[in-house]
A and B are shown apart, each in its own frame.
Chain A
Amino acid sequence: MNALTVKGLRKSYGAAQVVSGVDLAVAPGECFGLLGPNGAGKTTTLKLCLGLIEPDAGEIELLGEPVPRRAREARARVGVVPQFDNLDPDFTVAENLRVFGRYFGMRRREVEARVPGLLEFAGLAGRGEAKISTLSGGMKRRLTLARALVNDPQLIFMDEPTTGLDPQARHLIWERLRRLTQEGKTLVLTTHFMEEAERLCQRLAIMDHGRIIAQGSPRALVAQHIEPQVVEVHGNGYEAWMERARTLAPRVERAGDTVFVYAGDIDPVLKALAGEKELAYLHRQASLEDVFLKLTGRDLRD
């Protein structure tokens, strides 16, 4: 049985269809990533899966419970890390965990027994009595993650878990998330960091305009959707060179003053570039980011 199954999910706000026919299946113990530009409908999809808002159409089954009908029962075994921290500023670090446990109907002793382990997990051992306002962004994020684990959930939803964190803080979160998957927990996360998706997720769905436009493992998505080699070119005369590149490679794209050349066999392109003194270039393997940009376009999203 799947940890999460979504079929034909739809949700509109007024005339705007935010989720328009989403199908998803997440296996138990899997780390599943929902990728998409801002406004793609990722957060709305998560909220629908949690039963926080009602779908217009479609079916959701979360940990065997139909949602939204039995969302409450499902949420008892689920953890949530929201996009924006909403730790309780009136409480200390440890109190945040204790009070949150009580929302799940846990007994005082039950919660108390879990607090030291959760503080350790958050890297906040010894900081239990600290005020929330004294924590750094990374600490707050880790505490929010620890808070989501207070009820020992089977599945954890995370909405952009590392947005706004510095690289050190981000790597620590990634390490913790891997620890959770090793413990057998199912993770569903939204992100627009390709690196994050590539490192953590076994499977990904790329979402745009309320639809899933591609699904698969990070490797399979790259193999399936994009030529394996890329050369990025910029410098004087890049526009003229772009025309030439079109005769050498199957796909040539431009973003600002940079030309992206995609090909299976990139040698002709590299040879042609060797004679160009005015152009600077970078040759690399195609990545998930290239797939993402190919599928969702290079236009700015607000």
Chain B
Amino acid sequence: MRWMAVWRRNMLVWRKLLAASVLTNLADPLIMLFGLGYGLGALMPSIEGMSYIMFFAAGQLCTATMFTASFESMFSGFSRMHGQKTWDAILYAPLVIDDVVAGEIMWAASKAWLTGSTILGVVLVFGLAESPLLALLALPAAFLVGLAFSAVGLIMTVLARGWDFFSFYMTLVMTPMMMISGVFFPAERLPAPMLAVAQALPLYHGVELVRPLIAGRLPEASALHLAVLLGYAAAGYFLAIRFARKRFAE
């Protein structure tokens, strides 16, 4: 549990910059949710038996969680590792690079979870969930989405030689993933090969878990969705540690 000291360091900084942090992490997704949800939603009758805003809420919850996790683990993480040399300082203490990686991933996942759960709170307050009790099950799901993207994001961080590196991942991976993972429209409408790609990626499985919970029923094939998210988290964790060890052995 030595990584807790790293997690705690990041939490203390976040607490100092709370207002700006909460604004950027929450205002954007909520504006999107209500803007698109009500605006676009007004043009559509219903989608999979629910209002468009209810449909979109699940997608937006997962997407915002993904973005918070990715930004924190990549941009903030890289700044701590590369710019501020905070990781170097931590390594003078009886901590090793594995502890730092674990602390960073857990922190980014925690921050992402806060984004996801606040959006869920708004969804509940606006009565966009059929069964508030079932919808609460989206809380652990949001944490898993955060964990998966934090771990994958940190791989990018420990491989990055400069800031540009993240643009490739954002533009070539995250944005297309958001389009095909059933965030804005049902993924099943996609051509089969594209759906297959979506199903190989974590965001789709997050949405598949959260959407039914907001619609008031238990998700089907939840074991599969959980397994994929956990798999990305675990693989990301081990690869990030491996690449970080290599980077810090120089």
Chain A contact residues, CB within 8 Å of chain B: 13, 50, 52-54, 72-73, 75-76, 78-80, 82, 84, 86-91, 95, 99-100, 102-105, 148, 151
A87 to B86, CA, bound (A): 7
- Minimum CB distance partner of A151 in chain B: B93
Q: Is B8 an interface residue (CB 8 A)?
A: yes
Q: Is B249 an interface residue (CB 8 A)?
A: yes
Chain B contact residues, CB within 8 Å of chain A: 2, 5-6, 8-9, 12-13, 16-17, 84-86, 88-96, 248-250
- Minimum CB distance partner of B84 in chain A: A89
A54 touches B249 (CB 8 A): yes
Known: A75-B94, A86-B85, A88-B84. A53 touches B249 (CB 8 A): yes
A100 to B96, CA, bound (A): 14
Chain A residue contacts of B85, Cβ below 8 A: 84, 86
A105 to B93, CA, bound (A): 9
A105 touches B16 (CB 8 A): no
Chain A residue contacts of B86, Cβ below 8 A: 86, 88
- Jot down 7 A-B pairs with beta carbons below 8 A, ordered by A: A72-B95, A79-B92, A84-B85, A91-B12, A100-B89, A103-B94, A104-B93
Looking at B12, B89, B250, which has the most chain A CB atoms within 10 Å of its CB? B89
A78 to B91, CA, bound (A): 12
Looking at A53, A84, A90, which has the most chain B CB atoms within 10 Å of its CB? A90
A129 to B25, CA, bound (A): 28
Known: A52-B248, A105-B5. A88 touches B94 (CB 8 A): no
A102 touches B9 (CB 8 A): yes
- Minimum CB distance partner of A80 in chain B: B92
Chain A residue contacts of B96, Cβ below 8 A: 72
B88 touches A100 (CB 8 A): no
Interchain residue pairs A-B with the least CB separation, the first 6? A103-B93, A86-B85, A80-B92, A90-B13, A76-B94, A72-B94
A-B contacts at CB below 8 angstroms, number: 64
A103 touches B84 (CB 8 A): no
Chain B residue contacts of A84, Cβ below 8 A: 85
Nearest CB on B from A96, distance (A): 9
Looking at B17, B95, B248, which has the most chain A CB atoms within 10 Å of its CB? B95
Chain A residue contacts of B92, Cβ below 8 A: 50, 75, 78-80, 82, 148
Chain A residue contacts of B250, Cβ below 8 A: 13, 53
Chain A residue contacts of B95, Cβ below 8 A: 72, 103
B5 touches A103 (CB 8 A): yes
A105 to B92, CA, bound (A): 13
Known: A52-B91, A84-B85. A90 touches B249 (CB 8 A): no
Chain A residue contacts of B84, Cβ below 8 A: 86, 88-90
Chain A residue contacts of B249, Cβ below 8 A: 53-54
A103 touches B90 (CB 8 A): yes
Nearest CB on B from A297, distance (A): 28
Known: A91-B12, A91-B13, A102-B9. A86 touches B88 (CB 8 A): yes
Nearest CB on A from B53, distance (A): 38
Looking at B85, B90, B94, B250, which has the most chain A CB atoms within 10 Å of its CB? B94
B93 touches A100 (CB 8 A): yes
- Minimum CB distance partner of B16 in chain A: A90
A286 to B250, CA, bound (A): 39
Nearest CB on A from B234, distance (A): 24
B13 touches A105 (CB 8 A): no
Chain A residue contacts of B12, Cβ below 8 A: 91, 95, 99
B5 touches A102 (CB 8 A): yes
B89 touches A102 (CB 8 A): no
- Minimum CB distance partner of B248 in chain A: A52
A73 to B94, CA, bound (A): 7
- Minimum CB distance partner of B8 in chain A: A102
- Minimum CB distance partner of B92 in chain A: A80
Nearest CB on A from B11, distance (A): 11
A204 to B11, CA, bound (A): 43
A86 touches B89 (CB 8 A): yes
B88 touches A104 (CB 8 A): no
A82 touches B13 (CB 8 A): no
Chain A residue contacts of B94, Cβ below 8 A: 72-73, 75-76, 103-105
A82 to B92, CA, bound (A): 9
A151 to B16, CA, bound (A): 25
A42 to B16, CA, bound (A): 38
Chain B residue contacts of A87, Cβ below 8 A: 89
Nearest CB on B from A106, distance (A): 10
Looking at A13, A73, A102, which has the most chain B CB atoms within 10 Å of its CB? A102
A79 to B248, CA, bound (A): 19
Q: Give 15 new A-B contacts, CB below 8 A, not counting A86-B84, A99-B8.
A: A13-B250, A52-B248, A53-B248, A53-B250, A72-B95, A78-B92, A82-B89, A86-B88, A88-B9, A88-B84, A99-B9, A100-B93, A102-B5, A103-B9, A103-B93
- Minimum CB distance partner of B12 in chain A: A99
- Minimum CB distance partner of A77 in chain B: B94
Known: A52-B248, A86-B84, A89-B84. A105 touches B2 (CB 8 A): yes
